[in-house]
Each structure stands twice: as structure tokens, then as C-alpha cells.
Structure 1
Amino acid sequence: MGKRDDLIAKYAADIRTTLSEEPDMALLEKVTIGCGPSIYDADAETVAASDKGELARIRDNFLRRKLGLPDGPDLDAGIAAVMDRYGRANRSKYRAVVYYLLCRHFRREDAYS
């Protein structure tokens, strides 16, 4: 297995333990690949849920651009719901898992078809 495969396995294990659910491995793999080289950088691999600037970048760059969602308060509410579900106290919120959960939350899995 390569480094990316190891990371996908790590993210799948995180979903299983943190969220107690079986991940859609095809979607998780596509989302992880879509994150690009950020998954290989320890700082960029995780999301700081308390950083308003980072949450705004997720809203603008991922939800609006990648998923094609219209801007509005439901985007911020969706991000908050995902962060609550993932666990606000959890300091290691993996970017690929957050994006995966946002895809599922907004039912936009087709963006990775």
C-alpha cells in the first residue's frame, strides 16, 4: 500500500471509531484524492473548527466551488452540524473526513461521480 492508501485507511478507521458508522469507501477515497497534497502535511491535514477563517474557506472553496451549493446561512449551519457530529472536542478533525461528512450532509456525493 502507498501513503495515500494508508491515509484513506486511517480516515476510514476514524469514521468507524468516532462516528460509529461504516464509511462509503468509494466516496472517501474520491474525497481524499480531491484534497490533493494537503493530506500529506500534518497541519493542513486537519481542520481547526474554532478558526472562523478556515471555516469560511471550507464554505467558499469546498461547499460553493467544489459542491456547487448556493451561498446562504444553510452552509454555515451544515458546517456546524458536521463539526458537532464529528465532535467539537476532537482536536484531530481530518480534512478528508470533514469533506466526506459535508458531502453526505448536503447529499452531494454526485460531485465525486
Structure 2
Amino acid sequence: MGKRDDLIAKYAKDIQDKLGQSPDMDLLRKVTIGCGPSIYNADGETVAASDKAEVERIRDSYLKKKLGLPDGPDLDAAIAKVLDAYGSSNRNKYRAVVYYMLCRHFGKEAAYS
């Protein structure tokens, strides 16, 4: 297994252990690949949930651009819901997992087909 496969396995374990869900491995793989090289950087791999600029970046770059969602308060609410489900005490909120959960929340799996 390569480094990316190791990371995907780590993200799948997070989805199971911290979010109590069985991951769709095909979608998780596609979302992880879509994150690009940021997953190999310790700072880029995680989401700083308390950083307002980071939350805006997720909304603008991922939800609006990648998933094609219209701007509105439901975007921020969904981000807050996913980050809350991940747990405020959990310091490592992996970007691929957050994006995966948001993709599933909005039913936008087709964005990765």
C-alpha cells in the first residue's frame, strides 16, 4: 500500500470510530484524491475548525465551487454540524473526512463520478 492508501485507511477509521458510520470507501477515495497534495502536509491535512477563515474557505472553495451549491446559511450550518459531529475535543479533524461528510450531507456524491 502507498502513502495515500494508508491515509484513506486512517480516514475510514476516523469515520467509523469518531462519527459512528461505515464509510463508502469508493467515495472516500475520490474525495481524498480530490484534496490533492494537501493531505501530505500536516497543516493542510487537517481543518482548523475554530479559524473563521478556514470555515469560509471550506464554504467557498469546496461547497460552492466543487459541489456547486448556492450560497446561503445552510452551508455554514452544515459545516458546523459536521464539525460538531466530529467532536470539539478532537484536535485532528481531517480535511478529507470533513469534505466526505459534507458531500454526503448534501447528497452530492455525483460530483465525484
Q: What is the TM-score of this pair, normalised by structure 2?
A: 0.98
Q: Deviations over 1:2-30 (max 9, x none)?
A: 00000000100111111121100000000
For 1:89 and 1:69, locate their aligned partners in 2 and report how far apart those are by CA, in whole Å: 29
**SS of match in other structure, 2:44:** coil
Aligned residues: 113
Equivalence for 1:31: 31
Q: Deviations over 1:34-88 (max 9, x none)?
A: 0000000001100010000000000000000000000011100110011111112
For 1:89 and 1:48, locate their aligned partners in 2 and report how far apart those are by CA, in whole Å: 12
Q: State the percentage of identical aligned residues.
A: 74
In terms of fraction of residues, the more helix-rich structure is 2
Q: What is the TM-score of this pair, normalised by structure 1?
A: 0.98
Residue type at the aligned position of 1:34: G
- Unaligned stretches of 5+ residues in structure 1: none
Residue type at the aligned position of 1:101: M
RMSD between superposed Cα atoms in Å:
0.6
Q: Does residue 94 of the first structure (1) align with residue 94 of the second (2)? A: yes
Residue type at the aligned position of 1:7: L
